[in-house]
A and B are shown apart, each in its own frame.
Chain A
């Protein structure tokens, strides 16, 4: 029945109420004289009816909580990053303070200077490693609560990586709104950042997803990003197209 092959798509669109009046009229005229097409329509309609009545799916237990926990964990990770920044600033301030004390013997007891200097070196070493627990350094005694906070938050982040939420409710009790999520390691998609990142990726063959910021980027483009663009996070190297979040960073 070759005629039916021609009409198959019209029949499908007719079923969805998507034909124009004229198209519909043509189809109906054809079907008047074509039993096979009438049967075909009836069969598609039967499938549609049965599918539409397919039972509703129950949400798995704990799904909602799990999503919201991760949303909150993202905020938490952002906070941890902020704390780390504050802590680094505080550590710098401590070093400057120690230096100042050493340079002005009039204001510091002679015996206190070496200790303070040792404390400063300690902090400098920690900063090189990217660590941010100044409270452990004796000279940073001005910020005793900071180190504790940082550790608690880091614990929370650790915990969240392991998807264990045992004590998270308490840990996440204080969550004020914030403007932007920056938790890189928790993003389900990799980030590419740099100047004119969006335009550059598009010019290299990325596709735009209208609406959201995401871009679909061919995997070979990610493998050899041009200079100035940086990839953050992991992606599936076996896929052809990778969903990527571009992040504009001025050079």
Chain B
């Protein structure tokens, strides 16, 4: 964190000067580390207007400037393949940040420069932050920073953001560039044949538009749908010219013009990379060996199982312990509260109606979520999650998702909330939705409590396992149905396999805190309101009415006691509450006295499938809109009820349990 706030406004007595800076770059280049180091705790994450893409923004004070930093999504090109790409190019072209920092991974210069060249075509005030210089050196790559700067005609600042190196220089460069107030650099030129064609298109573009003409010309040749529609609406005669030129390029190079332009860019990137970088023998280290082992066709899976198992084991134990501690603190507080204030209507309302909602969030959700976010952050920063995605790719394809989709599913076992938030790693809206849908069916810690506490304890461990297997089968089938039903083409896996690296403690903690903060701000109010709503409904006697209305479903169809109707409604708040409430309504914790084994199995099944909890619904609504959240919730309720009844009859007819 660079912060000289005391200097703000003191320079020559003028007002604070404001700058807007955007960060752009590939994934895995340490862009978010740069962002976190620059803005520290002064940041907020929202969505791009009307999009499900995260927009992280933060501020810092530096040498008399207040600098607003916008972190653009990590992408590899500026086409319209993903929402992220669209958001980024619109931002750069339309909002004109004072400086655009292209964070570049020094150890993978070629691919990064491919993106740099595309950025330059948009003619921004570009600065290259040449990051991970330390990692590159370990790989035996030495880069001539001066030369790189000359080749591209942009300032280049060497950095190692994880170690907080080079960030001050980067900001100084931003200010220098701003004060110099020169024209943006020219974009690099390609081979002579393609340049002639580009020039021809540029001459044909008569209208003025926010995007640079050269960029429009290149995009038209590449066949970018969005730009085509835009340009052809302004000058329809352009369409025939472009078609003609495209076929000329194709005839000349033997590939379609989009491939030709991509090749030209890569040739350029490759040429620059080879002139500025010298390669020596890399340092040998054990990480290389670990990399091979963790993606090995046999050992890789064994290691993954061990890692995932120990992760869950630790999280559950940690969560269980702290959940217990926090619950007893709350119980103590509750006791002294009623001791001090008495148990009148208002006092009861305050505690049961308002504070209990907070209690649920703090003592049930947080103890599991904090270690979850923390371990996830570490696994992500080290580069292990990419291996998991690699290993699980072929299985995940069966439900129409690729390997990366396994990560949210895995998270779902702890809590569906981070799982649904984690779906943003998928590339397209379609993939994200399928992924969130199946994630919301994963038995989270709360559901596991019901399954374990009821079925495993009273019916038998093998029946608990059967429930899990049933759930996995359902996830598989529903995933497949969603995959067939939703329009669009499934997306294959393609990603960089990052080398392992040590995560920075500061960045990991910061990231965990931000995830936690957004969880608290989003989920807590809903938990409190939900709790209040049910409390009021209960005191007004609506709940017993509901119980009666639900009787046909609960008693006749599912074969459960009538009290389960109310219990299942409360369960929307927290699923483990179903068990706790059932005990308190029935007046015993010995469930064998009140439920038959079949009823237990069916009850646990319904709890497992019917609507995700209120916090998950809230996240779904936020990420995908309230309509999608409602559809998912409703589908799951119908599914739970229909299948629960069938299951109940099936078990009774065959007398299995």
Q: Do A and B originate from a single complex?
A: no
Residues of A within 8 A of B (CB): none
